[in-house]
Structure 1
Amino acid sequence: MNAVAAPADDDAAAADDLLAQSRAARVYDVAHESALEAAPLLSARLGRPVLLKREDQQPVFSFKLRGAYNRMVQLDPAQRARGVIAASAGNHAQGVALAAAKLGIRATIVMPVTAPQVKVDAVRRFGGAMVEIVLAGDSYSDAQATAAQLQAEHGATFVHPFDDPAVIAGQGTVALEILRQHPGPLHAVFVPVGGGGLLAGVAACIKALRPEVKVIGVQALDADAMARSLEKGSRVALDEVGLFADGTAVKQVGALTFALCRQHVDAMLRVDTDAICAAIRDIYQDTRCVPEPSGALALAGLKQYVAAHARLDGQVADGALVAIVSGANMNFDRLRFVAERAEVGEQHEAVFAVTIPEERGSFRRFCAALGRHSITEFNYRIGDASSAHIFVGVQIASRDEREALAAAFRAQAFDVLDLTDDELAKLHLRHMIGGRSPLARHERLYRFEFPERPGALTHFLGQLHPDWNISLFHYRNHGADYGRILVGIQVPPDEYALLPPFLAALGYPHWDESDHPAYRLLLRE
């Protein structure tokens, strides 16, 4: 955790001024006071009272309409007539679109081409005929450059997503609600950070009213412009930003937000993609709602904070911990990736590459080393006459269990590579194991289904014919009621008659895919 310089005494006036602006903000023309909900499952697991500030419940499914509307409602008639222009990765764009429709102001909104389609569609829906969308660049900063050019050409008012006093004051109303909703002991508020508007507004208001409450910003590890800027003492411009948490993918924070955060923020945290995915799942389990990656940033930081303090001093000081769930504009097609990575982010899945001898009995020794652990993924394709390379994912309860599994493999004289924290393996290599093999002679391909329960895959592996070689194996747990396996078995032609009784004895539904055209094209010599 990176500490931020303590506020000086003469900064109090600036915080008081922003507090007054937040109290007078016109956000409730379009927004509502969002719930501050207990997260009972998380609280029980972390041993701390955890509260979620549900900004994902706003009409545009994020907090951004607060600042956007508060800025636009203050425009004079001449400014309204010239219209507004904005740049946004999506959530601010929706706020501007809704405000434009509400106030009757024409708006041009520049969004990066990487913005999730769900956000682009929502901007059109909220803004209707009052909004024109321009797609440009790969990040918010690229879109902002295009917006600045268009503003110079047309003279419209630029509605900044974060570096504007009225926008920051609008976002500060989130803090006023938290303090009003939870007047009891409050240890810290965790805030997702992109350009810093929400963090600046929340921090200034909280420090003006309850300076003992910690305000902690949380950024994605690959989009940490605010954390780097506060560490350096001046604004840092990143060359590139990661786009998984697209709502906070900002290359450079604002001048005003930086100054306010430098004065009032207690610390900054960085979290990786796996931790964000785990936090998305945590929020779903407690609320049955799915936040977008940026919306889960704060909770990922909260969990990291609790874990770090538990290691250092055994406890976190008294008081509730609040995470702002800032948005829920999630593209549906990201859910598969999130579900897959959440297990690793929670340290519930370990991923190994294990090399075993290509000899009779070694596969059974491998299964014995796995014990009763549930297997989440199993990939193998014959490719070497002397050794077999297996990619396996295993469900675990802790890092200690992961280390114990690696030790169990080594005790069988297997070479082990722990890939749990390896980005290349998790993103790409796990999907590329296979291909044709000249060693896969007399291969028969079968697809099996079995009831998905702990130990089921290990039981299946233990029943495979000891005299026939396994030349291909693929399994991935998808959270369904039934597991699905693809197996290549090398059966000499003179033993084909033994296959039907063997398959019947296994007792699992199965299909012969040996003549499948895609298999013959891609995997068969």
Structure 2
Amino acid sequence: MLPTLDEFKQAQQQIAALLSVTPLERSARLSNHFKADVYLKREDLQQVRSYKIRGAYNKLLTLSKDKKVKQVICASAGNHAQGVALCCSTLNIHGIIIMPKTAPLQKISKVESFGGKWVEIRLHGETYDEAYHHALKAAEKDDIPFVHPFNDRDVILGQGTMGLEILEQLGKTPDVVSICVGGGGLLSGVGSVMAQAAPSAELFGVEPAEAASMSEAIKQNKVVTLPFISRFVDGASVATIGDVNFEICRQLNLQMLTASEGAICSALIEMYNEDGIIVEPAGILAVTGLYQMDIDLTGKTVVCIVSGGNNDIYRTQEIIERAKIYEGKKFYIRVEVPQISGSFATILSIIEKEHEGLVSFTRYSNAKAINGYSSALLGVEVTNKSIGKAIMNRLNQAGISFRISKESPVINEL
């Protein structure tokens, strides 16, 4: 059974003191592109720069009502941790926060800032799931209430208050609502509100293609654990969704979409360059999903949740690199170079024929010659995808043996 609208409204009243009512802004750029009215729900403007404060505060307030709580524990890749930290310092509750060792330094620093003397940060494991299981053991061992980032009804009720805000601000039923997905807390909450208050709205959940645990669960009709996930979209990289979340989401009229890391980076940079909005990779998922939808958005009212803006500036080079590769503006080719004088100069001249569209050319490695050929890894950056295709056509016509390489020396060095 879905959480009721009355429950969401009670949660909304309960958390109002600490929460910001974030803007619902019409995006002129996205509206023009899709010939629709596209609105952004700016949860990146919350005090902790993500929606996670909603669920965390509702959970801690509920715990405080039920019994006198002196200490809590949670696991998080960053945003939930910041929400819990602020709630702990606000309510004078001690918090133990378990974060993976790979959590961005920016997020760790903000947890320290929001929590102050009320929180203790412990780093454990390489992924959220490793940190999560460690936190569960500690909670059970020391009998400390565990504040789950998504698989908890009180947390879901807190996250779902955003759905109430969207409907109040929009003043009508949206045609499409695009929601980012990690463990499923936000999708469960906002999806439940829309299913009851705006049942005609089409719901889309968008998760990283390299960590698509909700999509796989819906496909198999059961909660599954992915054997491998990429950690790049740290705020939504979850190997196992919550069973509470799954039971709710399976009742929704929902379509799941996935977004590649390259597409996420491309949308993130475009939003920064064109709109001046700083978003983290997980925060841009709902917007990235617009480009994956197989429906015509023309004339529709669309809401995208910008779920967080805790982007570590030190990740910028990697984000730019991934975006350029995705857009076809940068590529790496491994070329077999004959060990004959002037062979490499011939390859270079072919590439340089597109000089007007060539931004840069770098030779990264040259393997030891075998059977009269050496393998060279070349990085080529161009102004647009068509220039890259022209270069590859010229290499083919010249009989140069090459293959597109998936490895990026720039990313490998970061």
What's the TM-score once normalised by structure 1's chain length? 0.71
- C-alpha distance 194-362 of structure 1, shift in aligned 2 (>3 A): same
Residues in 2 aligned to 1:386 and 1:112: alpha-carbon distance in whole angstroms: 45
Alignment of 1:199-238 (within 5 A): 199-238=187-226
Residues in 2 aligned to 1:50 and 1:251: alpha-carbon distance in whole angstroms: 31
Q: Check if 1:393 corresponds to 2:380.
A: yes
Residues in 2 aligned to 1:402 and 1:393: alpha-carbon distance in whole angstroms: 8
Offset at residue 378 of structure 1 (A): 2.8
Q: Secondary structure at the match of 1:80?
A: coil
Selected match of 2:140 from 133, 148, 152: 152
Q: Check if 1:406 corresponds to 2:392.
A: yes
Q: Check if 1:19 corresponds to 2:5.
A: yes
- C-alpha distance 154-266 of structure 1, shift in aligned 2 (>3 A): same
Offset at residue 124 of structure 1 (A): 1.4
- C-alpha distance 363-139 of structure 1, shift in aligned 2 (>3 A): closer
User: Which moves more between the two structures, 59-68 or 286-295?
Assistant: 286-295
Task: Identify which of structures 1 and 2 has the higher relative contact order when contacts are C-alpha pairs closer than 8 Å and 6+ apart.
Answer: 2
> In structure 1, what is the equivalent of residue 297 of structure 2?
316
Preserved contact between residue 43 and residue 50 of structure 2 (Cα < 8 Å): yes
- C-alpha distance 149-44 of structure 1, shift in aligned 2 (>3 A): same
Offset at residue 184 of structure 1 (A): 5.0
Alignment of 1:376-387 (within 5 A): 376-379=360-363
- The amino acid that maps onto 2:382 is Q
User: Which moves more between the two structures, 200-209 or 366-375?
Assistant: 366-375
Q: Check if 1:342 corresponds to 2:323.
A: yes
User: Which moves more between the two structures, 163-172 or 153-162?
Assistant: 153-162
Offset at residue 404 of structure 1 (A): 4.1
Residues in 1 aligned to 2:228 and 2:388: alpha-carbon distance in whole angstroms: 33
- C-alpha distance 203-404 of structure 1, shift in aligned 2 (>3 A): same
| Greater Cα radius of gyration, structure 1 or 2 | 1
- The amino acid that maps onto 1:395 is V
> In structure 2, what is the equivalent of residue 439 of structure 1?
none
> In structure 1, what is the equivalent of residue 251 of structure 2?
263
- C-alpha distance 414-91 of structure 1, shift in aligned 2 (>3 A): same
Gaps of 5+ in 1: 1-13, 310-314, 432-525
> In structure 2, what is the equivalent of residue 32 of structure 1?
20
- The amino acid that maps onto 1:333 is Y
> In structure 2, what is the equivalent of residue 289 of structure 1?
277
The percentage of counterpart residues that share the same residue type is: 33
Alignment of 1:102-501 (within 5 A): 102-184=90-172, 186-305=174-293, 308-309=294-295, 315-316=296-297, 318-354=299-335, 358-359=341-342, 362=346, 365-367=349-351, 369-370=353-354, 372-379=356-363, 389=376, 391-398=378-385, 402-419=388-405, 422-423=406-407, 427-428=411-412
Q: Secondary structure at the match of 1:238?
A: coil
Residues in 2 aligned to 1:317 and 1:367: alpha-carbon distance in whole angstroms: 41
Offset at residue 112 of structure 1 (A): 1.4
Offset at residue 61 of structure 1 (A): 0.8
- C-alpha distance 201-347 of structure 1, shift in aligned 2 (>3 A): farther
Preserved contact between residue 302 and residue 321 of structure 1 (Cα < 8 Å): no
- C-alpha distance 276-363 of structure 1, shift in aligned 2 (>3 A): same
Residues in 1 aligned to 2:228 and 2:379: alpha-carbon distance in whole angstroms: 33
Residues in 1 aligned to 2:365 and 2:411: alpha-carbon distance in whole angstroms: 19
Q: Secondary structure at the match of 2:211?
A: coil
The one-character-per-residue Cα deviations of 1:210-239 (angstroms, maximum 9, x if unpaired) are 122111111112211111101000000123
Alignment of 1:82-97 (within 5 A): 82-97=70-85
- C-alpha distance 327-320 of structure 1, shift in aligned 2 (>3 A): same
What's the TM-score once normalised by structure 2's chain length? 0.88
User: Which moves more between the two structures, 84-93 or 368-377?
Assistant: 368-377
Offset at residue 380 of structure 1 (A): 6.2
- C-alpha distance 293-381 of structure 1, shift in aligned 2 (>3 A): closer
Offset at residue 275 of structure 1 (A): 1.0
- C-alpha distance 145-79 of structure 1, shift in aligned 2 (>3 A): farther
The one-character-per-residue Cα deviations of 1:309-330 (angstroms, maximum 9, x if unpaired) are 5xxxxx3353133221111112
- C-alpha distance 392-48 of structure 1, shift in aligned 2 (>3 A): farther
Q: Secondary structure at the match of 1:203?
A: helix
Q: Secondary structure at the match of 2:49?
A: coil
Offset at residue 396 of structure 1 (A): 4.9
Preserved contact between residue 19 and residue 169 of structure 1 (Cα < 8 Å): no
User: Which moves more between the two structures, 374-383 or 77-86?
Assistant: 374-383
Q: Check if 1:74 corresponds to 2:57.
A: no
The number of aligned residues is 405
> In structure 2, what is the equivalent of residue 508 of structure 1?
none
The one-character-per-residue Cα deviations of 1:392-412 (angstroms, maximum 9, x if unpaired) are 4243545x6644442233233
Q: Secondary structure at the match of 2:273?
A: helix
Residues in 2 aligned to 1:231 and 1:221: alpha-carbon distance in whole angstroms: 14
Selected match of 2:49 from 61, 66, 73: 61
Offset at residue 276 of structure 1 (A): 1.2
Residues in 2 aligned to 1:63 and 1:72: alpha-carbon distance in whole angstroms: 15
Residues in 2 aligned to 1:413 and 1:77: alpha-carbon distance in whole angstroms: 75
Q: Secondary structure at the match of 1:134?
A: strand
- C-alpha distance 115-427 of structure 1, shift in aligned 2 (>3 A): closer
Preserved contact between residue 357 and residue 387 of structure 2 (Cα < 8 Å): no
Residues in 2 aligned to 1:155 and 1:381: alpha-carbon distance in whole angstroms: 55
Preserved contact between residue 321 and residue 410 of structure 2 (Cα < 8 Å): no
Preserved contact between residue 82 and residue 157 of structure 1 (Cα < 8 Å): no
Preserved contact between residue 36 and residue 298 of structure 2 (Cα < 8 Å): no
